[in-house]
Amino acid sequence: MLTTLKKYRYQYWPDTAVGELLKKPWMDTAVPVVALMLTVAFFSWQLSGFFSISTVSDNLQQASELGFIVLGMTLVLIVGGIDLSVGSTYAICNVLVLYLIHVEQMPVLPAVGITLLCGALLGAINGILIGYLGLRAFLTTLVTLIVFRSLFDMLQFQWAVGIATHTTDSEAWYYLGTGYFLSIPMAAWAFAAIAIATHIYLTRMRGGWHVMAVGGSRRSAYNAGLPVKRVVASSYVVSGVLASMSGIFYGARIDSSSADTGSGMAIIVLAAALVGGIRLGGGKGSVTKAVLGTVIVFLITSSLSSMATTAGVSRIVLAVIFLLFTTLDIRWFKNRGKAVQELYVTPGYLDLPKAPSTAAESPYAVNDKLHDIELIGLGRVESPEDVILDDDDNLYCGTRHGNIMRFLAPDYQQMEVYAHVGGQPLGMAFDPDGYLYVCIGGMGLYRVTPERKVEKVTDETNRSLFSIADDSRLRLADDLDIAPDGRIFFSEATVRYEMHEWQIDSLESRGNGRIICYDPHTNQTRTVVKNLVFPNGICLGSEGQSILFAESWACRISRYWFDGPQKGRVEPVISSLPGYPDNINRASDGNYWIALMGMRGPAFDLSMRKPAFRRRMSKRLAQDEWLSPNINVGCVVKCNDQGEILEALWDRSGVNHPMITSMREHRGYLYLGGISNNRIGRYKLEKADPNFMQHPRRRGKPHA
Amino acid sequence: MNTTASLLPKEKTAAKIIKLDQQTIVFLIFIIIFIAFSIFLPGFLNTGNLVNILRSISVLGMLGLGMAVVVIGRGIDLSMVAILAVPTALTMTLASTGVDLGLALIAGVALAIAFGLLNGLLTAYAEVPALLTTLATGLGLAGIGQSGILQFDVVPWPDQLNPIEWIGGTTLFGIPSSVISFAVVAIAVSVFLKRTKLGLFIYAIGDNPNAARTTGMPVRPVMVLQYLIAALIAVFAGLVMASSSAVMDTRIYNLSLIYNVVLVVVLGGVGLSGGRGGVWNVIVGTLLVGTILNGMTILNFSYDAQNLVKGVILLMAIAIDSVLNPRNEETAQQGDI
């Protein structure tokens, strides 16, 4: 009873969701989003009419004005600088545009153009000093803050009377300040357009990537030949332009000038950027965060003033919220990685049937048949996971250096790089036209043409409907076989880990793997069987309508019917093996060879029924101290279509072939590969068909 | 090997007759301006005016010393002006309402210590960047000052505090006591930084916090100590300021005084990236800023014009420094703003 409960709990409870959610890039923004929701909830409870149309539209307009400057500050912060002078630039541009419109009676377009140019110039002063002359951003903008401010005070003093006494009747000017389009203020439209453009620029365009690169690592960007100085300088220019844009909209809305315009603005802007989660020091930040921070800080400041709190209380509240959210965000940023590490590994419940005996009278009886075998490429290959032979008896195998090696018949002394594929080649199969299809760990399904050209066949499949993590990319394509109609069935051992992390997947022993079908006629890749426990070897059944596949950690072999009356069904062939099955291949007598890469042990089997224990182990111990499947010794067995074991081949001394991941029968010999081995074995089979080969080349004309 | 060989001749050329580091440049500019003012400005070079300069810069200088301690440890304290104003005003308000002098002092100093600790703990343990922490705590403390614990924004010096008026409001041998207080703080900070273990730790931490931690220094407690020292110096400077001008205007927080403090420190050559500089740098920076301000006051410049001229001179000084000692993209620190 309890066991059943435990089984269902581990089968249906979404343990993996937490870790996968935490891994999502957008979780970066979690703290500011929560902060925004809390802020909105609090003030809508405290203030009546918080959601009324006029309040919202008023808020949108003023928040947009702040948003321009925050966006500029965000760019500067991402590049790794800081711009304290934005408030002064804002003030100067504000008084300038008012002067041009009121006193000079200029039309709106040239007035705005000149003002934007002025903002760009003021920004360029910062940019040249910081970007090209290499001054410190904080200090320089601190000084330009004071210089620009005094400039503003002098201008304002001179122009204030003129601005107040002259009026303008420009329709466009008032429309800019108080006009609505679809009941949304113009400032909000402009801000939305610029924010979206900036977002696209930062995330999708080369220039934006340069900005992120310079901020992320200035030194690397410099060494990579990026125009670091230009990028830094232009970020200040953009900041100046955005500040001036804000000054223009503010001027159009208020239509009069005041001596304290923009004083203390740098603090509010900085607070908005940092509460949004943009980090000082560069490389981290996004438009989304800038917008979130703007809205939060704006809501707090404006709502506090409409709640008629004193200036002192507003300041205290602002300071507390500022510290609270930045601290939270910094702790979150720092600990998310650790949390992912701790929570990602989520062992499942796996009740393995009793392991069959390997005693003397059993079909698995240990022998020493693989002791005296011929060795090919001893010490010259590394990690030949799979081996395969062509029509001319040449031998192919993968190596961990990302090559497919070829040993030339008849003596297999001469070795050459057949093709460089760039990743660890795993399972291989020839199609009837002599194309070598190969599963490459971390890359997907590739093929090598007879002309030795490497081509990608597929590296993605359909994304599962309700998965949290994107499982459309192939992480660990493992073994394949080709159906008579040309469809390629291949296994992906796990969607949650990389190839070198197979041990963690064994600790989970969940249904993380799947079988995928690539159809060359439609050029489509679809997942056909899901939730398999490390599916590994794949072999076409003797009747040509099904595939046999091995599930390593579940120690079983099953059959999947892809054609015929039972199409779509999965049925067990061997429900319990004494070890962990790897590749499956055809034998000349119509049966199947199965490689066992390691043998089961009672302790590990027991731990498979104790998920909580394994989870504790994964949290408390270093990975090299974990329980792990025993892969120090393995064997090759032969079975028939019904799953009866007919023969077993062992290397008792464990010197030549302790761990076997693949074997291939070819013209009376059995060739053996091992992913942790440095040799290929060649074993003479008795009573085998001397002409048998698994993937014979098509006679007659090749297909198109 | 190769890099060492190519660096050697460069070092030699750099170390010419005079080593033109920032401190020297600023000092030379100070001398030039001083001489120019002495020649062209009537009434600049006389004892009365020189004492005046010294008095006007003593508070700025003290704040600069506190800031220097933090900056050397690779931090920054923007809350110093708030700590200068509000706890001092609290002490003065309490004393004027008849609270015992000692208790009033303790209350003010305790408030300052609380904020110094808050700064230090948030920066060292929560790892919030110093710039943000102190920006926010300064804002918060200024808010506390405005929200009821003080009766007025401008607090007059109460007679009950006269027993400690000697720290800033009197003269000794014709020298204003605020200048002497500045000198005492300067000597104390200098001894602390150069002669005590903790002072040397601050340099090591500012130079390379990770190396300091690996070596076994108590990095986080020492960081807390930096902010504590800065807060204590700030509240002392506040008392000196209040006693010398017989008033404490808490609205001083809204002015650009904190920027002047940062300028004094960095202009003198205390690098914002930490580990470099000392008391002498602060004094040189303070002298330059004080002299310029004094000269322009004699010239009857408006406040705005003074700020403008000051800013342009400062920009030039920083620009000259960066041309003479250019930033190296290879060795510049990431996130070094």
Report CB contact under 8 Å: A281, B335: yes
Return the C-alpha torsion angle A492, A495, A501, A507, nearest 10: -100
Residue A513: which of A490, A533, A542, A538 has the closest Cα?
Answer: A533
Contact list in A for residue B329 (CB cut-off 8 A) is 218-219, 222, 228
State the pLDDT confidence band at A610, using cuts at 50, 70 and 90.
very high
- Which of B122, B128, B304 is closest, CB to CB, to A150? B304
Neighbours of A481 (CB within 10 A): 26
Q: What is the pLDDT of residues A14-27, one digit of tens each?
A: 878 888 888 877 77
E runs forming strands in A543-634:
546-551, 556-561, 570-574, 579-586, 592-599
Question: Is pLDDT above 80 for B60?
Answer: yes
> A245 with A116: CB under 8 angstroms?
yes
Which one of B128, B255, B296, B324 would you mutate to disrupt binding with A, by most A Cβ within 10 Å of its Cβ? B128
In this predicted structure, what is the pLDDT of residue A44? 79
Question: Could you please report the per-residue DSSP string of B171-239?
Answer: EETTEEHHHHHHHHHHHHHHHHHHHSHHHHHHHHHHH-HHHHHHHT--HHHHHHHHHHHHHHHHHHHHH
Least confident of A586-600, A635-649, B273-287: B273-287
Give the span between the Cα atoms of B226 and B202, in whole angstroms.
8
* Mean pLDDT across A327-335: 80
State the pLDDT confidence band at B330, using cuts at 50, 70 and 90.
low
In this predicted structure, what is the pLDDT of residue A494? 93
Distances, alpha carbon A426 to alpha carbons A488, A490, A508, in Å: 15, 11, 22
Report CB contact under 8 Å: A135, B254: no
Question: Is pLDDT above 70 for B332?
Answer: no
Give the span between the Cα atoms of A433 and A701, in whole angstroms.
9
Interface membership of A281 toward B (CB under 8 Å): yes
Least confident of A220-224, B145-149, B287-291: B145-149
Residue A431: which of A477, A395, A485 has the closest Cα?
Answer: A485
Question: Is pLDDT above 70 for B329?
Answer: no
Q: What percent of chain B has pLDDT over 70?
A: 88
- Which of A139, A150, A157 is closest, CB to CB, to B308? A150
Cβ neighbours of residue A45 closer than 8 Å, sequence gap 6 or more: none
Torsions phi, psi of A352, nearest 5?
Answer: -80, 140
DSSP 3-state of A596? strand
Residue type, B67: M
Question: Is pLDDT above 70 for B287?
Answer: yes
- The class that CATH gives domain B47-323 is mainly alpha
Interface membership of A220 toward B (CB under 8 Å): no
Please name the residues between 100 and 139 in chain A that touch chain B, using a CB distance below 8 Å: 129, 133-139
Give the span between the Cα atoms of A432 and A486, in whole angstroms.
9
Four-residue CA torsion sign, A275, A280, A284, A287: positive
Higher pLDDT, B49 or B200: B200
Report CB contact under 8 Å: B128, A154: no
Contact list in A for residue B327 (CB cut-off 8 A) is 134
In this predicted structure, what is the pLDDT of residue A363? 92
Interface membership of A280 toward B (CB under 8 Å): yes
Give the span between the Cα atoms of B63 and B71, in whole angstroms.
12
Q: What is the pLDDT of residues B202-240, one digit of tens each?
A: 999 988 888 889 999 999 999 999 999 999 999 999 999
Query: What residue has token string 């930062």?
Result: A202
Please name every residue paired with A599 in a beta bridge, in sequence order, or none if there are none: A579, A630
CB burial class (10 A; 0-12, 13-18, 19+) of residue A608? Answer: buried
- Which of B122, B140, B272 is closest, CB to CB, to A139? B272
Question: Is pLDDT above 90 for A246?
Answer: yes
Interface membership of A264 toward B (CB under 8 Å): yes
> B232 with B82: CB under 8 angstroms?
no
In this predicted structure, what is the pLDDT of residue B70? 94
Least confident of A500-509, B99-108, B142-151: B142-151
> A325 with A486: CB under 8 angstroms?
no
Report CB contact under 8 Å: B318, A139: yes
* Mean pLDDT across A278-288: 83
Report CB contact under 8 Å: A315, B142: yes
Interface membership of A584 toward B (CB under 8 Å): no
Please name the residues between 19 and 38 in chain A that touch chain B, using a CB distance below 8 Å: none
> B250 with B150: CB under 8 angstroms?
yes
In this predicted structure, what is the pLDDT of residue B18? 53
In this predicted structure, what is the pLDDT of residue A179? 76
Report CB contact under 8 Å: A136, B318: yes
Output DSSP code: residue A102. I
* Mean pLDDT across A379-408: 93
CA distance B135 to chain A (A): 8
Q: What is the pLDDT of residues A145-165, one digit of tens each?
A: 888 988 998 898 888 888 888
Contact list in B for residue A232 (CB cut-off 8 A) is none
Question: Cis bond leading into A410, ω under 30°?
Answer: yes
Q: Is B43 left (phi over 0), alpha (psi -120 to 50) or beta?
A: left
Domains of chain A are 13-341 (1.10.3470), 374-684 (2.120.10.30)
Residue type, A262: G
Contact list in A for residue B263 (CB cut-off 8 A) is 139, 142-143
Q: Would you kindly state where each structural domain of chain B is located, as residue ranges? A: 47-323
CA distance A131 to chain B (A): 11
In this predicted structure, what is the pLDDT of residue A186? 85
Give the span between the Cα atoms of A666 and A386, in whole angstroms.
14
Report CB contact under 8 Å: B311, A81: no
Residue in chain A lying closest to B133 (CA): A323
Interface membership of A311 toward B (CB under 8 Å): yes
* Mean pLDDT across A603-608: 93
CA distance A212 to chain B (A): 13
Report CB contact under 8 Å: A142, B262: yes
And the tokens for B50? 């020189």
Question: Is pLDDT above 50 for A657?
Answer: yes
Higher pLDDT, B135 or B92: B92
Question: Is pLDDT above 80 for A56?
Answer: no
Question: Is pLDDT above 60 for A353?
Answer: yes
State the pLDDT confidence band at B33, using cuts at 50, 70 and 90.
confident
Give the span between the Cα atoms of A192 and A467, in whole angstroms.
32
State the pLDDT confidence band at A703, using cuts at 50, 70 and 90.
very low
And the tokens for B70? 């933090």
Please name every residue paired with A515 in a beta bridge, in sequence order, or none if there are none: A491, A529
* Mean pLDDT across B292-315: 81
In this predicted structure, what is the pLDDT of residue B334? 47
- Which of A267, A317, A326 is closest, CB to CB, to B128? A326
Contact list in A for residue B139 (CB cut-off 8 A) is 267, 315, 318-319, 322
CA distance B313 to chain A (A): 10
Cβ neighbours of residue A161 closer than 8 Å, sequence gap 6 or more: none
Q: Is B4 left (phi over 0), alpha (psi -120 to 50) or beta?
A: alpha
Report CB contact under 8 Å: A320, B140: yes
Contact list in A for residue B135 (CB cut-off 8 A) is 267, 270-271, 322
In this predicted structure, what is the pLDDT of residue A91? 93
Which one of A85, A125, A136, A140 would you mutate to disrupt binding with B, by most B Cβ within 10 Å of its Cβ? A136
Residue A279: which of A332, A221, A202 has the closest Cα?
Answer: A332
In this predicted structure, what is the pLDDT of residue B1? 38
Task: Report the Cα A53 to chain-centroid distance in Å.
Answer: 41
Residue B268: which of B72, B51, B81, B15 has the closest Cα?
Answer: B72
Question: Is pLDDT above 80 for A634?
Answer: yes
Interface membership of A310 toward B (CB under 8 Å): yes
Give the span between the Cα atoms of B233 and A682, in whole angstroms.
83
Q: What is the pLDDT of residues A299-313, one digit of tens each?
A: 888 887 777 677 778
Q: How many CB pairs under 8 A join A and B?
A: 156
DSSP 3-state of A350? coil
- Which of A137, A219, A310 is closest, CB to CB, to B337? A137
Round the average pLDDT of chain A to a whole number and report it: 88
Least confident of A66-70, A129-133, A478-482: A129-133
Consecutive H or E run containing B81:
helix B80-96
Report CB contact under 8 Å: B148, A217: no
* Mean pLDDT across A280-286: 81
State the pLDDT confidence band at B15, using cuts at 50, 70 and 90.
very low
E runs forming strands in A512-628:
513-519, 524-532, 535-540, 546-551, 556-561, 570-574, 579-586, 592-599
Q: What is the pLDDT of residues B177-186, one digit of tens each?
A: 888 999 999 9
In this predicted structure, what is the pLDDT of residue A704? 41
Give the span between the Cα atoms of A631 and B55, in whole angstroms.
82
ipTM over 0.90 threshold: no
- Which of B131, B148, B254 is closest, CB to CB, to A280? B131
Give the span between the Cα atoms of A240 and A217, in whole angstroms.
24
CA distance B308 to chain A (A): 5
State the pLDDT confidence band at B119, using cuts at 50, 70 and 90.
very high
Consecutive H or E run containing B131:
helix B130-146
Which of A19-23, A460-464, A558-562, A689-693 ranks highest by mean pLDDT?
A: A558-562
Interface membership of A326 toward B (CB under 8 Å): yes
Query: What residue has token string 């066949």?
Result: A457
In this predicted structure, what is the pLDDT of residue A597? 93
Query: CA angle, A584 as apex, A579 and A587 as ends, to 5°?
Result: 120
In this predicted structure, what is the pLDDT of residue B150? 73
In this predicted structure, what is the pLDDT of residue B326? 63
Query: What residue has token string 């009950």?
Result: B160
Report CB contact under 8 Å: B144, A316: yes
* Mean pLDDT across A460-473: 86
Torsions phi, psi of A591, nearest 5?
Answer: -95, -170
CA distance B177 to chain A (A): 31
Q: What percent of chain A has pLDDT over 70?
A: 98
Query: What residue has token string 């800023």?
Result: B289
Question: Is pLDDT above 90 for A554?
Answer: yes
In this predicted structure, what is the pLDDT of residue A197? 94
Interface membership of A687 toward B (CB under 8 Å): no
